[in-house]
Amino acid sequence: MPKERGSKVVATNRKARHDYLIEDTYEAGMVLTGTEVKSLREGRASLVDGYAFIDERGEMWLDAVHIPEYTEGTWNNHAPRRKRKLLLHRQEIVKISHRTKDGGYTLIPLQIYFSEGRAKVELAVAKGKREYDKRQALREKQDKREADRAISSRRHLGE
């Protein structure tokens, strides 16, 4: 079977951009079992509660990401919410470690996708937004939408 080219997005964490200020993003490979890969190829995963962390050995892990059991799997199916090891260069892990040691920074998954046939996760070093920041962002978005709507309606009247 030939390897697939390009990329295919499996799951995105849309709420992350609302709840966090994204500072940096990194692409990491994932160590998966066969049934996890098959479940991802079906487009089934949830990043809602997911987060990443660096353990005491300097390895990066992805936790609380839900990849449902493969429907055609047998007794050797995977646990849906198990910890999964992430593959990054040592320098990247050190850099991320220094950033997350600063107060308020965390590692969150933004999306899981296939690139050149391999499962990847896009991680973000992010800082949590406060409630008023979220309201202000929503207000700005709504104001922009109203302004665009007014401009487009004015264009239609002028024609």
- CA distance linking residue 109 with residue 105, whole number of Å: 13
Q: Which helix (H) or strand (E) holds 119?
A: strand 118-128
Residues 94, 138: one domain? Answer: no
Question: Using CA atoms, how far apart are residues 95 and 110, in angstroms rounded to an integer?
Answer: 19
Residues 99 and 145 reside in one and the same domain: no
Q: Is residue 85 part of a domain?
A: yes
Indicate the pLDDT class of residue 1, thresholds 50, 70 and 90. Answer: very low
Q: What is the mean pLDDT of the chain?
A: 85
Whether the predicted pLDDT of 132 surpasses 50 = yes
Q: What is the pLDDT of residue 87?
A: 96
Same domain, yes or no: 91 and 145 = no
Of residues 74 and 121, the one with the higher pLDDT is: 121
Same domain, 148 and 95: no
| pLDDT confidence of residue 119 | 93
One domain, residues 87 and 140: no
Domain count, the chain: 2
Structural domain span for residue 148: 130-159
Mark whether 24 and 96 lie in a shared domain: yes
Which domain CATH number covers 69? 2.40.280.10
pLDDT at residue 59 greater than cutoff 80: yes
